[in-house]
Structure 1
Amino acid sequence: MPAYHSALNEVPDVRQVGNLAVLPIKSKYRGPAPMADPSEADIIDETLDLFRANSLFRNFEIKGPADRLLIILILFVSDCIAKIGAAKTVPNQLEATKLLNTLAVDNFPVPGDATFALNAHYAPPGAGQMLVNYLRGYLTQIRQELASRLVEKLYADGTGKPSKWWMSFQKRRFMNRSLGS
């Protein structure tokens, strides 16, 4: 059974930085990401929908620039769940929001950096620090929005504890990789 790929690979005229798609998102955070139509699913919705199924796969064939962004976001969700699972006490929703927002804005490597875990699959952003800063700003904004929506999903049942159906994936590594954040 093949892994699930992004439906946004087929969107025409998508801006790319390196070979990573810069897709519009529905966000409440400031940043360089284009705004998406609120009535349609964005890459973050798609990531949350595909995370649990795709995290079972060790191999993932990249079919387009949106798949490259999907990989980064799935690995970030995995790191977020591992961070919540590693806490000494089970965090409530507010504590989890603070924990994951801090993780989202912490300094992290981008494609092209020597410490980026998946450099073999990603092209550097291009010449000039301006593109690197743009990509870092875009990824920071998308990570913040993803962390926010993930907390909403994790604590949706109202018990004050993260969902065991999501937390069961804390030790799983998509493609046996981690972003190392």
Structure 2
Amino acid sequence: MPAYHSQFNNKDEFRTVGNMVLLPIKTKIKGPATPAPTSEDDIIDEALDLFRANCFFRNFEIQGNADRVLIYLILFISDCLSKLVKNPSQKEAIKILNTRALDHFALPGDPNFPLHALYSAPGRGEADVLRQYLTQVRQELANRLVERVYVDGKPSKWWMCFQRRKFMNKSL
């Protein structure tokens, strides 16, 4: 059974930095991402929907630049779930994940970036735009993840059982 790929792979109208595409997202957080229509799914919804199915795969064939964004988001979801091991309350989880989203992180081309083979380094001027975009996406993903994971104020066992899973045997 093949892995699930992004529906945004066929769209060429979005800006590309390095070999990651800056897709529109539904958010109120300021950043370089263009606003997406609220009636349609964005890349964050897609990553959350596909996470549990895709995290079982050790190999992932990239079919477009949107798949690179999807891979990054799936790895970030794994990282976020591992931060919720102690089952904090929903308010504490929001604080923990927002702090994690704003932490300094490696970009493609940095020596400690875990996926050098899949990503090309952005240009000198584009690195700041990519960092701002990824920060914006990470913040929005952290907020939406807490909404999905916490049911009735407690973390859902159907999400928390994926804490130790490593997509492609990698982590951020």
TM-score range, shorter chain: over 0.9
Identity %: 62
Displacement of 1:108 in angstroms is: 0.2
2:168 aligned with 1:175, yes or no? yes
2:159 aligned with 1:166, yes or no? yes
Q: Secondary structure at the match of 1:46?
A: helix
1:109-148 correspondence to structure 2 within 5 Å: 109-126=106-123, 128=124, 130-148=125-143
- Work out the CA distance in 2 between the residues paired with 1:121 and 1:103: 23
Displacement of 1:120 in angstroms is: 1.0
- Work out the CA distance in 1 between the residues paired with 2:10 and 2:64: 8
Q: Which amino acid aligns with 2:134?
A: L
- Work out the CA distance in 1 between the residues paired with 2:140 and 2:160: 19
Match of 1:150 among 139, 145, 149: 145
- Give 1:44's aligned residue: 44
- Give 2:100's aligned residue: 103
- Work out the CA distance in 1 between the residues paired with 2:39 and 2:13: 20
| Residues 108-152 of structure 1: per-residue CA shift (max 9 Å, x gap) | 0011111100011101112x2x31111000000000000000000
- Work out the CA distance in 2 between the residues paired with 1:26 and 1:116: 27
Let me know the Cα RMSD of the aligned residues.
0.7
- Work out the CA distance in 2 between the residues paired with 1:52 and 1:44: 14
- Give 1:63's aligned residue: 63
| Residues 3-30 of structure 1: per-residue CA shift (max 9 Å, x gap) | 0000110113221001101100001211
Q: Secondary structure at the match of 2:26?
A: coil
Q: Give the length in aligned residue pairs.
A: 172
Structure 2 length normalisation: TM-score? 0.98
Structure 1 length normalisation: TM-score? 0.93
Q: Secondary structure at the match of 2:27?
A: coil
- Work out the CA distance in 1 between the residues paired with 2:45 and 2:79: 17
Q: Unpaired segments of 5 or more residues in structure 1?
A: none
